Protein backbone atom coordinates (compact mmCIF):
# COMPACT_ATOMS: atom_id res chain seq x y z
CA UNK A 1 0.00 0.00 0.00
CA UNK A 2 1.56 3.27 -1.09
CA UNK A 3 0.51 6.85 -0.54
CA UNK A 4 1.60 10.34 -1.53
CA UNK A 5 2.10 12.90 1.22
CA UNK A 6 1.40 16.62 1.04
CA UNK A 7 5.15 17.22 0.77
CA UNK A 8 5.36 15.03 -2.29
CA UNK A 9 6.98 12.08 -0.55
CA UNK A 10 5.87 8.86 -2.16
CA UNK A 11 6.35 5.40 -0.75
CA UNK A 12 4.94 2.57 1.30
CA UNK A 13 2.48 3.68 3.97
CA UNK A 14 4.37 1.61 6.52
CA UNK A 15 7.63 3.39 5.70
CA UNK A 16 6.51 6.24 7.94
CA UNK A 17 7.32 6.72 11.60
CA UNK A 18 4.75 5.03 13.85
CA UNK A 19 3.56 7.21 16.71
CA UNK A 20 1.01 6.51 19.39
CA UNK A 21 -0.86 9.27 21.22
CA UNK A 22 -4.24 10.02 22.75
CA UNK A 23 -5.93 9.73 19.38
CA UNK A 24 -4.58 6.26 18.78
CA UNK A 25 -2.14 4.86 16.25
CA UNK A 26 -0.84 7.29 13.62
CA UNK A 27 1.93 7.36 11.06
CA UNK A 28 4.20 10.39 10.69
CA UNK A 29 5.93 11.39 7.48
CA UNK A 30 9.71 11.40 8.13
CA UNK A 31 10.18 14.15 5.55
CA UNK A 32 7.69 16.87 6.53
CA UNK A 33 6.39 15.61 9.87
CA UNK A 34 2.79 15.41 8.70
CA UNK A 35 0.82 13.05 10.91
CA UNK A 36 -1.59 10.72 9.16
CA UNK A 37 -4.32 9.63 11.56
CA UNK A 38 -5.23 6.79 9.19
CA UNK A 39 -8.87 7.74 9.68
CA UNK A 40 -9.79 6.49 6.23
CA UNK A 41 -9.18 2.97 7.48
CA UNK A 42 -11.27 0.93 9.92
CA UNK A 43 -9.71 0.31 13.34
CA UNK A 44 -8.34 -3.21 12.63
CA UNK A 45 -6.58 -1.97 9.49
CA UNK A 46 -5.14 1.04 11.34
CA UNK A 47 -3.69 -1.26 13.99
CA UNK A 48 -2.27 -3.65 11.41
CA UNK A 49 -0.61 -0.84 9.42
CA UNK A 50 0.78 0.73 12.58
CA UNK A 51 2.15 -2.61 13.80
CA UNK A 52 3.73 -3.22 10.43
CA UNK A 53 5.39 0.21 10.51
CA UNK A 54 6.61 -0.44 14.05
CA UNK A 55 8.14 -3.77 13.08
CA UNK A 56 9.82 -2.09 10.14
CA UNK A 57 11.19 0.61 12.43
CA UNK A 58 12.57 -1.94 14.91
CA UNK A 59 14.09 -3.91 12.05
CA UNK A 60 15.81 -0.76 10.76
CA UNK A 61 17.24 -0.06 14.21
CA UNK A 62 18.59 -3.59 14.42
CA UNK A 63 20.10 -3.34 10.95
CA UNK A 64 21.90 -0.07 11.68
CA UNK A 65 23.19 -1.16 15.09
ZN1 LIG B 1 5.32 14.52 4.04
User: In angstroms, what is the span from residue 19 Cα to ligand 1's centroid?
Assistant: 15
31-64 pLDDT, tens digit per residue, is 999 999 999 899 999 999 999 999 999 998 898 8
**Domain count for the chain:** 1
Question: In this predicted structure, what is the pLDDT of residue 61?
Answer: 87
User: In angstroms, what is the span from residue 10 Cα to ligand 1's centroid?
Assistant: 8
User: In angstroms, what is the span from residue 32 Cα to ligand 1's centroid?
Assistant: 4
**Residues with Cβ within 8 Å of residue 23, at least 6 apart in sequence:** 37
Question: In this predicted structure, what is the pLDDT of residue 26?
Answer: 95
Range of the domain at 23: 2-64
- Name the pTM for this structure: 0.83
Strands (E), 1-65: 2-4, 10-12, 17-21, 24-28, 35-36
**Residue 30 near residue 42 (C-beta atoms within 8 A):** no
Question: In this predicted structure, what is the pLDDT of residue 65?
Answer: 72
User: In angstroms, what is the span from residue 11 Cα to ligand 1's centroid?
Assistant: 10
Amino acid sequence: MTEVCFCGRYGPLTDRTPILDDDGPSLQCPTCGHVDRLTVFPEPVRLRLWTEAKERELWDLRESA
